[in-house]
Amino acid sequence: MTVTAAQRLLEADLHQTEFQIGVAKCQWSLVRPVTEAEWPHVYTWISATPRMASPGRLMVRWDLDGYNAASPTGAFWDFDRHDFRPIKDWPKGKPGSVVAAVFKTEGWAAPGRGFYHPYDRQARAGHNQWPDQNPRHIWMTKNTLTDFLSLVHRWLNCEDYLGCAPPH
């Protein structure tokens, strides 16, 4: 297999200071190196504030097809099952919070398969109003995976994060 331009761009982004600072602070890390065999899927760990019966970090599988001209889509992943984390085990947020909104698992086209946020390629589809409502959270080619990782890390480490059930 050949390394795509998108994969080369991601590799360069992973060597940038912003990504490396997150790794050094144990906020996130790659689960394993990016490979042509798994591309466009990339797996990361993202740390979470300790909550009762919840893991201290969660795995996210990112689909980076067309990176970075196209925005990523990411979802929590169950390493042992090699599948999306079951919806019942997704992180929860206080009602009405941003955390509850972005980790919602009902009422949209891809529950449990993406984050309900303007950066997420799956969630963005069908939400033509989002660029006007959230101009700073619309994916542009200047954005990197680190921008999205930073948001997920923030959501998993704020007061509104209530925790989630551990994987089976």
Q: Average pLDDT of 113-118?
A: 95
Give pairs for 14-23: CB < 8 Å, separation 24+.
14/145, 16/144, 16/146, 18/144, 18/146, 18/150, 19/144, 19/145, 19/146, 19/149, 22/146, 22/149, 22/150, 22/153
pLDDT band at 1 (very low <50, low <70, confident <90, very high): low
Beta strands 83-84; 57-63: pairing state: unpaired
pLDDT of residue 85 exceeding 60: yes
Q: What's the CA dihedral at 146, 66, 70, 123 to 10 degrees?
A: -90
Task: Note the pLDDT tens digit of each residue in 30-66.
Answer: 999 999 999 999 999 999 999 998 999 999 999 999 9
pLDDT of 134 reads: 83
pLDDT of residue 123 exceeding 70: yes
- Model-level pTM? 0.95
pLDDT of residue 145 exceeding 90: yes
pLDDT of residue 167 exceeding 80: no
Half-sphere exposure of 99 (CA within 13 A, CB side): 19
pLDDT of 3 reads: 85
Share of the chain above pLDDT 90, in %: 83
Which of helix, strand or coil describes residue 70?
Answer: coil
Beta-carbon neighbour count of residue 52 at 10 Å?
A: 6
SS (HEC) of 14-48: HCCHHHHHHHHCCCEEECCCCCCCCCCEEEEEEEC
Backbone angles phi, psi at 44, to 5 degrees: -130, 150
